[in-house]
Structure 1
């Protein structure tokens, strides 16, 4: 489908801070085009009021939202899908074919997240999961094009962070909505050199070779910007992609060196902390170790867990 003619600005892209964990940590996006809307990701159940508020500020009633598109079904991206869909009477939900069943019956999704985060965190951070009626769920395989009032949104299979991950290429704006494929970039680490970026290896499906390939596939589209869930719009794409590739390799090398460590998780946490501290210092960030752990401590723990799972699978 050819891209429609495109004005310079505005592009109809609204960033919605879902409020998960802290400000400027977890984003969803609202696209508005020709009086119709589409959400890309939605945060947790607790984010639903923020999503509806974003619609109101954009002057769009819930009945004019055609799509909720999920990059993947991890709960910080999709936990509120069922609750949000209940508020969007005419919307359909588009999701990678591997993720569709988890939206229709989220019990396995809940159990998997519970094993990672524990009961207390699940109840406080995520709340309950509401199923999405099967007739409202659309499987979006690689190359599937979603039509938002004549604005084509192409779904691109991007495994590496998760096997059920897709990115969305907005031809009209020439940007990609990357979920977690293009890493994490928190504004607190911005310096004169620009944004700082890290891969995310959250359990349980990290695959370094697939992730390298997915990053390259997005770069080949030559987008003007990437829109990350964690967090916001990034330019300087070529540099950031090179940084991601280099850091993935460094993390994999660290994990392999610690494969047989008797206290592997603790050693991975320590090794990742040192790796990130050095790279952030090289980037020109002036914060101390306490500040680093304040902003990255949870991600370091999750990345260490993901690397551990990958090591165990690689050995089997």
Structure 2
């Protein structure tokens, strides 16, 4: 637990240092969990709650920033193990937590059967009476510690971020991009947007990034991965990169090999930016750490192009 009463939980999804959840400590031993990893991560998350000295009966809230499975896939199993918790979810995501069948089908289509079975199996529905819908501005009371939900679409329409006034920080899920600690150096953190399927929208993403920065946060806590500071600089860089990625996608529209074109140019852009950030052996590190994200991000940009074509 840090000085703000927040414990970082590595959910163990795919590899160490990839996917974070957060245990927020309130008065009287009460707690809230923000994001929770996949269903296959639920046991590890419960062990971390136990190790933090929080009784499972004392977890009052599970807040999922959005319903992508690396953030919310474990909600069903966890709600069965946390008997007093209520699930806080965006209005657009609530029904998917109550009946996750569409989420499961979508994940199978994105990841394939083998990867789904390895990383996502075991999802369970959440009882409707335990689900709390969080509209923009909804405040969760954690034993006198307010946690305010703010609508932050762009990565997904069902995404909110959580403002914790006690630490002057956001729990931002995927709204503030990816920033893996392997890229940290004397120049600070390195961040890139996450455009994964299927609801990426560049205008909404830029507006959400600006909304987060406008609060003048001391830090932003992201799922992938951990805590970033120097939020204004990172926000400016992310907004610029969103525009660059949208341009890359538009340039590939209508091409038979558009996915490969987008992925190749995204890789080159991230390497260019990593070099400018002073990352050692940038090409190797981008491939090793961001390779999977580039593939998924390219899928998301293709889905965005398809949506634009349907709207034309």
Common fold, TM-score beyond 0.5? yes
What is the aligned partner in structure 1 of residue 6 from structure 2? 13
Secondary structure at the aligned position of 2:238 is classed as helix
Partner Cα separation in structure 2 for residue 262 and residue 58 of structure 1: 52
What are the superposed Cα offsets for residues 257-309 of structure 1, whole Å, 9 maximum, x if unpaired?
11122210011111111111101011001125333211111100011111111
| Farther off after superposition, 289-298 or 268-277 | 289-298
Q: After TM superposition, which residue ranges in structure 1, 4 or more long, deviate above 3 angstroms?
A: none
Q: 2:151 aligns with which of 157, 167, 177?
A: 157
Across the aligned residues of Structure 1 and Structure 2, the Cα RMSD in angstroms comes to: 1.0
The answer to whether 1:68 aligns with 2:62 is yes
Which residue matches 1:49? 43
Q: Structure 2: which 5+ residue stretches go unaligned?
A: none
For residues 108-167 of structure 1, the C-alpha deviation after alignment (integer angstroms, 9 at most, x for no partner) is 110011111111100001112100000000000000000000000000000000000000
Report the Cα distance in structure 1 between the residues aligned to 2:268 and 2:50, rounded to whole angstroms.
44
Greater shift, 187-196 or 49-58, is seen at: 49-58
1:32 corresponds to which of 25, 30, 33: 25
CA distance in 2, matches of 1:297, 1:74: 19
- Shift of residue 49 of structure 1? 2.1
Q: Decide whether the 8 Å contact of 2:36 with 2:72 is kept in 1.
A: yes
CA distance in 2, matches of 1:29, 1:281: 31
Partner residue, 2:250: 256
SS at match of 2:199: coil
Alpha-carbon deviation of 1:52?
1.7
The TM-score, its normalising length taken from structure 1, stands at: 0.96
Given that residues 40 and 122 in structure 2 are in contact (C-alpha distance below 8 angstroms), is that contact kept between their aligned partners in structure 1? no
What does 1:66-215 align with in structure 2 at a 5 Å threshold?
66-215=60-209
Provide the secondary structure at the position in 1 that maps to 2:53. Answer: coil
Structure 1 match to 2:210: 216
Q: Partner of 2:224: helix, strand, or coil? A: coil
Aligned length: 308
Rounded to whole Å, the distance in 2 between the matches of 1:195 and 1:266 is: 28
2:299 aligned with 1:308, yes or no? no
Structure 1 unaligned spans of 5+: 1-8
Q: CA deviation at 1:220?
A: 1.2
> Would the aligned equivalents of 2:196 and 2:297 in 1 still touch at CA under 8 Å?
yes
Q: Give the corresponding residue for 1:267.
A: 261
Q: Does the aligned pair in 1 maintain the 2:274–2:282 contact within 8 Å?
A: no
Distance in 2 between the 1:48 and 1:134 partners? Answer: 20
Offset from partner CA, 1:58-111 (integer Å, 9 cap, x none): 211100000000000000001110000100011100000100001000001100
SS at match of 2:244: helix
